[in-house]
């Protein structure tokens, strides 16, 4: 009898987790719809629906041209970008935290952000347009991580440790490079552009940015989603995982590459938005548990919601928009401090 | 022969850890590996498990040269039971056991109901099916060790390698885990485990393998191998080996304590 009720328990647990995921999915949709409406120029819900429907069945416009421009060129790409970037940074953070068996790791642990920052700063110095800046940022983010992996492969010892160490070192190298570009940048226009890029913002998200960032994001997210159960096994350590039939080196590399792809694509179009990738996987873990089968989709959905919410705040709080990178840090940093003090208490 | 090790040699850099080790283990045998710390027991296990690859000699498991097996093929032949340790993240006991399913599956796989059923069977076999939904970090050390045994069973391998499974456990848990291990060997599994306790080897092994300074010092039934001279030689402690219950059980008692109490 006890055994039968025991057999039902995982079903019950699965059902609860699925309900939570459903709730998170609904939350994303609600927040996305809300985000279409709010801003300096509020657009009423019926107009939003009508403008979207107009692309399927033509509707007599009862909205102004200005509203249409704002909606399709500013608000829609911005909302889509907030969701994509939140989803990407959170899933990359969750993936890294698993593969490096360390809950305090974030998506830029391997230097993707610093590499992107350096690429963007150099592009700004060279006077590139916005597409060129994004492309350079993306390219340098990928190059940085490949460099880190190459260094780690050449080094001896524990793979987890060497990869993270190489990441910290290469990251500080590119950070120095960014400082140098700031030093030689023209203080009239280039320096503010670099500084503003480093802060991270969704304000300048254009439809073209969305189309450019989407393919690498999509590929990376699919890979992370498909491999999510295997990350569970990696968290047990390489020796154990390997005796359970997992090719740990190969699996870790695939996950690193996928996570890097989505991080690089995010950073390239929005600049550095910190803390999302660290905080959201933790919140998701508290909500749904550590099993990556549930944790990965939960992180993706929560990340999307979180960034939508923070972006709405940044739009509404002041007339001159606060860059979202600053807001996420305002929320993320105190949370991080709370986390490490909590971890400390647990150890005692 | 289930495990056949021939002329195994392994070095970490210039340090030769294992020297010319040859051992045969028959199917369904419970072998205890005895030897002081740093003598090469764990290195031997790592070689058998394929975690150390640059060894000389051959290791054949179930008729297959493990050097020629892929990671997944190796996992089908043998399972590893590490010392229970606190994982970084907390999983339900069932999910820990489910991890074994990766041995029989490709890269893009996630467990199905059949694997859940098998995980339950494995938990049931070691007598802890009632813990399936508990968080792994909130059960006792002995229960955690049994979960890892269940995970190895669910992996469906015929050979289990256990590295000091009871070194962190209290007496009750030690007995429970070893009784379970003994039972599994009687059901036909080949099990190699390392231990620090000669008394454990007397109680819970068919054969005892004594490794000293990287070499095989003795290999045979516990009664043949564990002698007063051997304990004195490998551990530097003088003991008296005593027999109990018409020599059904033997125990080691340190001579210094015998002298003090008389």
Q: What is the ipTM of this complex?
A: 0.88
- Neighbour-count burial of B149, counting CB atoms closer than 10 A to its CB (0-12 exposed, 13-18 middle, 19+ buried): buried
A103 touching B (Cβ < 8 Å): yes
**CB of A79 within 8 A of CB of A324?**
no
In order, the DSSP letters of A36-55 are: HH-SSS---HHHHHHHHHTT
pLDDT tens column, B18-72: 999 999 999 999 999 998 888 889 899 999 999 988 899 999 999 999 999 999 9
**Of the candidates A335, A264, A313, A297, the residue with the CA atom closest to the CA atom of residue A28:** A297
Domains and CATH numbers, chain B: 3-226 (3.40.50.300), 227-262 (no CATH)
Residue B21 near chain A (CB below 8 Å): no
Angle between helix A292-317 and A76-99 (nearest 10): 140
Pairing status of strand B15-25 against strand B159-162 = unpaired
In angstroms, rounded to a whole number, what is the distance separating the alpha carbons of residues A68 and A3?
Answer: 61
A275-320 pLDDT, tens per residue? 889 889 988 998 899 999 999 999 999 999 999 998 888 888 777 7
Q: Tell me, yes or no, if A8 comes closer than 8 A to chain B by beta carbon.
A: no
What is the tens place of the pLDDT at every residue in B95-154? Answer: 999 999 888 777 777 788 888 999 999 999 888 999 999 999 999 888 999 999 999 999
Spell out which residues of chain B touch residue A2, defining contact as CB-CB under 8 Å. Answer: 130
Per run of 10 residues, the mean pLDDT along chain A (length 348 residues) is 52 85 95 87 83 83 85 89 95 93 84 91 90 90 90 81 88 93 91 87 84 94 95 91 91 92 90 87 90 96 94 80 82 74 61
The contacts of residue B140 (CB under 8 Å, 6+ apart) are: B173
Three-state secondary-structure class, residue A62: coil
Domains of chain A in start order, with CATH, are: 31-335 (1.10.3470.10)
Q: Which of residues 206-235 of A touch B (CB under 8 A)?
A: 226-230, 232-233, 235
Which of chain A's residues have a Cβ under 8 Å away from the Cβ of B161? Answer: 243
Q: How far is CA B230 from CA A290, B23, B36, B167, B248, in A?
A: 48, 19, 12, 22, 20
pTM: 0.88
CB A80 within 8 A of CB A35: no
Q: Cβ neighbours of residue B51 under 8 Å, at least 6 residues apart?
A: A239, A242, A243
For residue A340, the model assigns a pLDDT of: 67
């Amino acid at each position: 009898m006890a055994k039968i009720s025991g057999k039902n328990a995982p079903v019950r647990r699965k059902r609860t987790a699925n309900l939570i995921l459903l709730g998170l999915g609904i939350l994303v949709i609600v927040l996305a719809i809300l985000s279409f409406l709010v801003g300096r120029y509020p657009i009423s819900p019926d107009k939003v629906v009508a403008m979207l429907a107009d692309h399927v069945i033509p509707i007599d416009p009862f909205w102004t041209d200005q509203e249409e421009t704002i909606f399709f060129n500013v608000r829609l790409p911005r909302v889509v970008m907030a969701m994509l970037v939140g989803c990407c940074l959170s899933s990359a953070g969750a993936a890294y935290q698993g593969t490096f068996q360390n809950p305090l790791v974030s998506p830029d642990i391997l230097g993707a952000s610093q590499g992107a920052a350096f690429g963007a700063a150099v592009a700004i110095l060279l006077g590139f347009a916005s597409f060129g800046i994004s492309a350079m940022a993306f390219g340098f983010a990928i190059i940085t991580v490949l460099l880190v992996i190459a260094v780690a492969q050449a080094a001896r010892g524990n793979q987890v440790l060497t990869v993270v160490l190489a990441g910290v070192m290469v990251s500080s190298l590119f950070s120095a490079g960014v400082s140098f570009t700031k030093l030689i940048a023209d203080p009239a226009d280039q320096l503010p552009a670099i500084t503003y890029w480093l802060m991270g913002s969704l304000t300048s998200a254009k439809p073209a940015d969305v189309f450019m960032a989407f393919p690498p994001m999509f590929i990376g997210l699919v890979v992370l989603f498909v491999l999510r159960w295997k990350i569970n096994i990696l968290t047990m350590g390489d020796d154990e995982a390997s005796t359970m039939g997992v090719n740990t080196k190969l699996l870790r590399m695939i996950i690193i590459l996928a996570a890097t792809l989505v991080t690089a694509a995010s950073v390239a179009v929005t600049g550095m938005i910190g803390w999302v990738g660290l905080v959201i996987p933790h919140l998701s873990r508290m909500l749904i548990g550590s099993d990556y089968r549930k944790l990965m989709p939960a992180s993706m959905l929560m990340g999307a919601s979180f960034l939508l919410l923070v972006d709405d705040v940044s739009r509404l709080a002041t007339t001159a928009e606060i860059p979202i990178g600053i807001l996420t840090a305002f929320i993320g940093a105190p949370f991080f401090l709370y986390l490490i003090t909590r971890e400390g208490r647990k150890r005692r | 022969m289930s495990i056949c090790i021939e002329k195994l040699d392994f070095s970490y850099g210039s340090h030769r850890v294992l020297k010319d080790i040859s051992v045969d283990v028959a199917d369904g045998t419970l072998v205890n590996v005895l030897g002081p710390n740093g003598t090469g027991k764990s290195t031997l296990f790592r070689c058998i498990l394929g975690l150390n690859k640059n060894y000389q000699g051959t290791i054949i498991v179930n008729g297959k040269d493990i050097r020629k097996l892929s990671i997944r093929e190796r996992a089908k032949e043998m399972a590893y039971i590490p010392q229970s340790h606190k994982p970084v993240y907390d999983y339900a006991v069932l999910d820990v056991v489910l991890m074994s399913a990766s041995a029989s599956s490709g890269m893009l796989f996630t467990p199905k109901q059949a694997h859940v059923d098998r995980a339950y069977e494995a938990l049931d076999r070691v007598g802890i099916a009632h813990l399936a939904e508990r968080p792994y970090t909130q059960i006792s050390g002995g229960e955690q060790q049994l979960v890892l045994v269940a995970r190895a069973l669910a992996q469906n391998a015929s050979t289990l390698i256990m590295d000091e499974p009871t070194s962190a456990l209290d007496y009750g848990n030690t007995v429970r885990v070893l009784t379970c291990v003994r039972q599994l060997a009687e059901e036909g599994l080949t099990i190699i485990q390392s231990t620090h306790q000669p008394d454990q080897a007397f109680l819970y092994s068919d054969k005892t393998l004594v490794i000293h300074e990287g070499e095989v010092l003795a290999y045979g039934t516990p009664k043949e191998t564990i002698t007063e001279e051997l304990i004195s030689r490998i551990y530097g402690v003088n003991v008296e080996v005593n027999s109990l219950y018409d020599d059904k059980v033997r125990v080691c008692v340190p001579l210094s304590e015998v002298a003090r109490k008389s």
